[in-house]
Amino acid sequence: MEQDALRTARAKVRQLQLPMKIVDAHYTFDRARLIVAFGAEARVDLRPLLHELGSAFRCRVELRQVGDRDVAKLTGGIGRCGRVLCCSSWLTKFESISVRMAKEQALPISAEVLAGACGRLRCCLRYEYEQYRQINQALPRIGEEVSTPNSPAKVIVGHRLRETVSVRYADDQVFEWPLAQLERLPSSRN
């Protein structure tokens, strides 16, 4: 019955040409009330839809607007990673996501790359943010002078995932050292 209600509600929205997306419909246990969840980008006049649905189902109809992330959760789908959306499979709480998280992970700052199925920043940006933040604090900056097992050298590249640093010595030799074998010099910090 709920699937029929969902199909009917979607048909009524198309018929009334309302700018909204019906994502879920379910009855209360006693079938006295039908709760319809929808997503919309702008304010929508719901009175004509309430009238149509009330007369079609002969019960009290309640319309609930849900956010973009909730629409993706209820609709489901496949994410950029090729797996089922986290929000529809296991994620229960939506925490705030910021562009700073993408910057910390050295991801390209592009709306197309960072947007999830909901059109907002992908939830997975939060998963590894703390680890990237810690390693970025530990990595010396490019141009900073560090002490290596051989002699002091200047940092030319920091490799976040490998937790190594490439350095150039005074004689132009380049070596890659694990972060644990380097010591930051006090004069070059800050």
For residues 125 and 160, membership in a common domain is answered with no
* pTM score, whole prediction: 0.68
Is residue 158 pLDDT above 80, yes or no?
yes
Domain count, the chain: 3
Residue 161 pLDDT grade (very low, low, confident, very high; cuts 50, 70, 90):
confident
* Residue 31: CATH number of its domain: 3.30.300.20
For residues 88 and 128, membership in a common domain is answered with yes
For residues 124 and 144, membership in a common domain is answered with no
Phi then psi for residue 10, to 5 deg, are: -65, -40
For residues 109 and 148, membership in a common domain is answered with no
Q: Which residues contact 48 (CB under 8 A, 6 or more apart)?
A: 16, 18
Which residues constitute the domain of residue 184? 139-188
- For 8-19, the pLDDT digits (tens) are 999 999 999 999
